[in-house]
Structure 1
Amino acid sequence: MALANSLPPEFDRGVVTTVHQGDCHVSNATDLTFSTVLGSCISACVRDVVANVGGMNHFLLAEQSGAAKDRYGASARYGAFAMEQLINKVLSQGSGRKGNLEIKVFGGGKINAALDDVGLKNIEFVHEFLAAEGYTAASKDLGGTYARRVLFKPHSGRAFVKRLDSDSGANVAREEIALAKRRVVIPAPVDDIELF
């Protein structure tokens, strides 16, 4: 791992799993680190503090709709799905108690003027989602004008954030602009959970 010299000892060894946009990974492995690079995107790290099970997601709200009651359109359905998916996976592999969850959120940077501050919309969304679900973030590193690399140990809950230089941020911005130009329609999540 290229960052080994600049990392705290807990993060410089073991298995590293990259969490890409749209991913959601959960584990209780002691030697595992989840890693992601964020620009405008948001990544939540959720951990069951009793069961030592944790996970990370990575999502981007693509655009805001015009409807007042649906502030973020289909994008919010995707963001809500990404958050619910992570929380539900941690609950099902952990103690099953919402009160045992610790949530940390990262990202939402304004790394390119062409993105019309998607990062701010992502930050607003994640704050609203957590408040509506009755959660508070134990820690966060949101906003700014830089990209960041986030490392998360799902077993211990330790998180490490490294703010990236402008060259790295420019690469992240190019990737996000390419995604935005494609205007990929986010399909409604398939919900295969039956409630009774």
Structure 2
Amino acid sequence: MPPEFDRGVVTTVHQGDCYVSSDVDLTYSTVLGSCISACVRDRAANVGGMNHFLLAEQSGSAKDRYGASARYGAFAMEQLINKVLTSGTGRKANLEIKVFGGGKINASLDDVGAKNIEFIREFLKAEGYSLSSEDLGGTFARRVLFKPHSGRAFVKRLDSAVGASIAQEELAIAGRRTAVPPVDDIELF
């Protein structure tokens, strides 16, 4: 691990969280299985943030090809991008975006990771953003560290025992389906 990640305050980003900061000594940390985490930074303002979300299975909704759960993912992305824009320069052209996760860590998860990867790529393309970096897919879990001030990210691929534990958590969450998207379709950009 690069030495800059060994110092300062570490804030854990759990599923459903979205944090933004310009603190030089802050590192965001998360562990991903089939979930996606986006790291968005305003290069000019040195303000960045991280989210963490899991999209459940497709619902077949005619209104949205991914269903209500994808609107939750879209909400998570809009929330992060808007927080960075509000705290930064407000200019979309200054944003750099890195995305991580989407692993297939359990056969029982019906490759939610692949759907998440498709979702995040289509979402960013539709909004006119390009990725500056990504580490997506595979059959492993990963720990992601992100410095919001500098935009540096570090990814460590985790062994199968950790992946199995994360898969159990994701299966439990997918079974509960407690992630309820906002009722109104509000465009936040």
- Which interval holds the TM-score relative to the shorter structure? over 0.9
Matched, 1:122 2:91: no
Is the deviation greater in 14-23 or in 62-71? 62-71
Partner SS state of residue 164, structure 2: helix
Matched, 1:66 2:60: yes
Partner SS state of residue 166, structure 2: helix
User: What does residue 136 of structure 2 align with?
Assistant: 142
- Looking at structure 2, the residues matched to 91 and 172 of structure 1 have their Cα atoms a distance apart, in angstroms, of 32
Partner SS state of residue 119, structure 2: helix
User: What does residue 94 of structure 1 align with?
Assistant: 88
Q: Go from structure 1 to structure 2 and tell me whether the alpha carbon gap of 1:194 and 1:12 turns closer, same or farther (over 3 Å shift).
A: closer
Partner SS state of residue 53, structure 2: coil
Residue 183 of structure 1, CA deviation: 2.8
- Residues 78 and 189 of structure 1 are in contact (CA less than 8 Å); yes or no, is this contact kept in structure 2? no
Give the total of aligned pairs.
189
Match for 1:25: what amino acid?
Answer: Y
Residue 182 of structure 1, CA deviation: 1.6
Residue 185 of structure 1, CA deviation: 5.2
Matched, 1:186 2:180: yes
Report the TM-score, using the length of structure 2 for normalisation. 0.95
Report the TM-score, using the length of structure 1 for normalisation. 0.92
Q: Deviations over 1:169-189 (max 9, x none)?
A: 111001001111223252426
Residue 145 of structure 1, CA deviation: 0.2
- Residues 150 and 159 of structure 1 are in contact (CA less than 8 Å); yes or no, is this contact kept in structure 2? yes
Is the deviation greater in 122-131 or in 174-183? 174-183
Q: Deviations over 1:146-170 (max 9, x none)?
A: 0000000000000000000011111
- Looking at structure 2, the residues matched to 137 and 18 of structure 1 have their Cα atoms a distance apart, in angstroms, of 23
% same residue: 78
- Looking at structure 2, the residues matched to 122 and 184 of structure 1 have their Cα atoms a distance apart, in angstroms, of 18
Residue number among 101, 104, 110 corresponding to 2:98 in the alignment: 104
User: What does residue 153 of structure 1 align with?
Assistant: 147
Aligned residues: CA RMSD: 1.8
- Looking at structure 2, the residues matched to 169 and 193 of structure 1 have their Cα atoms a distance apart, in angstroms, of 35
Partner SS state of residue 28, structure 2: strand
User: What does residue 4 of structure 2 align with?
Assistant: 10
Partner SS state of residue 110, structure 1: coil
Partner SS state of residue 37, structure 1: strand
Residue 65 of structure 1, CA deviation: 1.7
Residue number among 18, 38, 43 corresponding to 1:49 in the alignment: 43
- 5+ residue gaps, structure 1, are 1-6
- Looking at structure 1, the residues matched to 136 and 186 of structure 2 have their Cα atoms a distance apart, in angstroms, of 32
Match for 1:83: what amino acid?
Answer: M
User: What does residue 26 of structure 2 align with?
Assistant: 32
Partner SS state of residue 156, structure 1: coil
